[in-house]
Amino acid sequence: EFWRERYRFGFTPKQSADWAWIQHMLSSAKADTGRVGVVIDNGCLFRGGREKVIRRLVLEKDLLEAVILLPEKLFYNTGAPGAILIFNKNKPEDRKGTVLFINASQEFEQHPEVRKLNRLGRDHIEKIANAYKNFSEIEGFSRAVERKEIEENDFNLNVTLYVFPEEETEEIDVTKEWEELRRLEGELGEIERRIEGYLRELGL
């Protein structure tokens, strides 16, 4: 009976126990006001089988409040990006039936002491925290998604399905680029004339 209550959304596969730990934490949190935050491997956001069933049941109970995609190379043991899941047993009325997805994959700086690692800087942390606190929708960074859309995506919680980072667009000065092209064409013509001269000297 104890185990049935603690893992009421189902048991996970032996090789991936992320959702077992999450259920354990949810069971340990206060019944009416409990919150849980956990850093997880990205795989548990989209793997199928029993894990998908658990995701569906958690969403149906409206326990998941936010999914935050982290940058890559934050951890010593893997270069892969992780994610933060935030659960809330007492969501505010305006957040019910929705999940906030935050794509923080570009919010990092190089670690000052470990060359191969990145880290979250103070500004990055504040940006993520403020988006979560205010449930903000920011183009290319965060978006509140209704449960129906997640269901349509087969309960896939992969952040990049819902939030795409904005690509920086570079303005092109056509006149300047054309002048550069003409200059390069002139240099190419000069080089060709030199080569022809060398070939004539060699009798070719």
Q: Where are the domains of the chain?
A: 2-161, 170-204
Q: What is the pLDDT of residue 52?
A: 96
Q: What percentage of the chain's residues is helix, strand, coil (to nearest 5)? A: 40, 20, 40
Cβ(80)–Cβ(41) below 8 Å? yes
Q: What is the pLDDT of residues 123-167, one digit of tens each?
A: 999 999 999 999 999 999 999 999 999 999 999 999 999 998 766
| E strand or H helix at 138 | none
Alpha-carbon distance values, 105 to 73, 74, 93, 109, 157 (Å) = 10, 11, 29, 11, 15
Determine the Cα–Cα distance for residues 199 and 202; give it in Å rounded to an integer.
5
CATH number of this structure's domain 2-161, picked from the four choices 2.40.110.10, 3.40.50.150, 3.40.30.10, 3.10.25.10:
3.40.50.150
Q: Is the pLDDT of residue 169 over 60?
A: no
Single pTM value for the model: 0.78
Paired strand residues for 119: 109
- Our CA dihedral for 16, 18, 24, 29, rounded to 10 degrees, sits at -170
For CA atoms 31, 24, 105, 114, the dihedral sign is positive
